[in-house]
Every structure is written in structure tokens, then in C-alpha cells.
Amino acid sequence: MTKIFEGKVVLMTGGSRGLGAATAEAFARQGADVAITYAASAEKAEAVVEALKAKGVRAIAIKSDQADLSSARPLIDKVIAEFGKLDILVNNAGIATQGQLVDDPNLDDEKYNRQWQVNVLGSIANTRAAAPRLSDGGRIIFIGSLLGSYVPFKGVADYAGTKAALIGYAKGIARDLGPRNITVNVLQPGAMPTDMNKDVAGELPPLDAFLDLHPIRRFATLEEVAEAVCFLAGPHAGYITGETINMAGGLGI
Ligand code: NDP
């Protein structure tokens, strides 16, 4: 395989599991040095790092809970101290808090507010810390969700809102960073087979009914979503910026 990311440094937030781990591996397979973050899963993060190093690249795991906005600058400092630069930021880390309706008098404000903190403010803090230090010609990719644009069931307003917020923010910083040839895009996957999906499975419609809404009647594989992230991060996507790309098997068309 051509190692199109040789010499590039990637920061993948939330790389200990799920899509982040799969995408970190896809970048490493194509030659990138990769830093991953995690909040709690130290052992899983270290296992991912070992798998990345086995592909012949440099890799580190950094514990950095992005609910704490003050963690952003030290995170970027560590990546640059380790690898000397940063070329590609993938804002992947996120949580899903779903199931309660907005008129539920017992809505768990604290839990739902934390979701805004992690998914939106944490991603923004990381981006602000990274932007001045990102290489010219670099890439910023936000992992949104199809729910940021299309909401086919109840109980997901806050999650959908967090993902929709990323769209406007990404367009804004695409304008700001365009003069440096840095592209900024949002990739919006549909359902993927990860822990997050299992965690919220009880809040979704029955699986068959949900799949029936998809022209391509299945979940995405992590590998195909990871490759789409790599495409947006790669040399052939230098003229795609400010875009929101759905990857949801046609759900919502
Ligand atoms: P997982 O729950 O499988 O993994 C989440 C990752 O994010 C873990 O590495 C986790 O670290 C990290 N993380 C969670 N909270 C924090 C935090 N406060 N600070 C730093 N890292 C944190 O999620 P997925 O892989 O499914 O999701 C990845 C992205 O894709 C998310 O943005 C999600 O919203 C989005 N998405 C997911 C879909 C799905 O069906 N799964 C569908 C559409 C979008 P740790 O292991 O330490 O907890």
C-alpha cells in the first residue's frame, strides 16, 4: 500500500476504542505517526498504541479528558513535544446521552450538559489550541453524526444539537484557515458497531425498522468510515473544505 501519510503527524481524539481506534490504525497503515487521546481506557489506549507501533510508525496515547477545557493546550504541547509538529487533527472523541425527551420534568440536566461540554466545547478547545500550531496545508476533521442534519427518532435532541453545532463551527474555521491551505470538514456517519452504539441501543427504534430506513440496509463498518476520514485528510482532498459529508447508507436522503 502507498504510504501517503508518511511524514505526517495525526492527533486522533478518542482513539482508545471504536471509530477512533480504527481510524488511528488506518492512518498508521498509511505511514502516519499518531497520537491518540482517551479519558478513562488507559489499557485499551496502550493496546492501540502497540498495534500502531507494530505498523512501523511512532505512536503515543495521552490521557486528556476534553470535558476539562484546560486540558487542550497541554495536549497539543505534548503532541508537538513528541513529534515536532501537527498536521492532521481529527476531533473524534464524543459521548452519546440519549433517551429523555425535552419535556421530561426529570431530564438529567447535568448529564445532558456534559454531552455539550465534551462534544462541542471540548472539540472547540482542542481545535483552538491546535489551530495556531497546525502545519500549513493541514487538515481538521470533525466526526459529527447524521443526526446533526436529520433526526428520524425522539430522545436525541441534545446529541443532535451537539453535532449540528460542529457544522457551523467547521464552516467558520474553514474560512479562517483557508489562507493557510488548511481544510476543515465534518464527516457524519450513521450507526456504527461500537460501544457507543451498544450503550444507546435501548433508545433507538427496533433494529429491523431502523435498517429499513437505509437504502444500503446495514450499519457502516468502522474500516469504511476510517478510510473516508483518511480521504479527507489526504492529498486528494485539498480542495474540499467547509463541507459536511454524510456517510449513513443513504439514511435521510
Ligand atoms: P465510543 O464510545 O466507542 O468511543 C469513544 C471514544 O471517545 C473513546 O476513545 C473514549 O475514550 C473517547 N472519549 C469519550 N469521552 C471523552 C472525553 N471526555 N475526553 C476524551 N476522550 C473521550 O464511540 P464511537 O467510536 O462510536 O464514536 C466516535 C465518534 O463517532 C463520536 O464523536 C460519535 O459521536 C460519533 N458517531 C458515532 C456513531 C455510532 O453509531 N457509534 C454514529 C455517528 C457518529 P475512553 O475509552 O477513555 O472512554
> Which residue in the list 38, 159, 169, 239 is annotated as catalytic?
159
Q: What is the pLDDT of residues 2-19, one digit of tens each?
A: 799 999 999 999 999 999
Q: What is the pLDDT of residues 71-93, one digit of tens each?
A: 999 999 999 999 999 999 999 99
Superfamily the domain 9-247 falls into: NAD(P)-binding Rossmann-like Domain (3.40.50.720)
Q: Give the distance (Å) from ligand 1 centre to CA of residue 179.
A: 31
Compute the distance between CA of residue 169 and CA of residue 184 in angstroms, rounded to an integer: 10
What is the per-residue pLDDT for 202? 81
Rounded to the nearest 10 degrees, what angle do helices 222-233 and 18-29 cross at?
Answer: 60
Report the helix count and the strand count for the chain, using DSSP H and E: 9, 7
Q: Give the distance (Å) from ligand 1 centre to CA of residue 145.
A: 11
Q: What is the pLDDT of residues 116-155, one digit of tens each?
A: 999 999 999 999 999 999 999 999 999 999 999 999 999 9
Q: How confident is the model at residue 205 (pLDDT cuts 50, 70, 90)?
A: confident
Q: What is the pLDDT of residues 156-167, one digit of tens each?
A: 999 999 999 999
Statement: residue 204 has pLDDT above 90: no
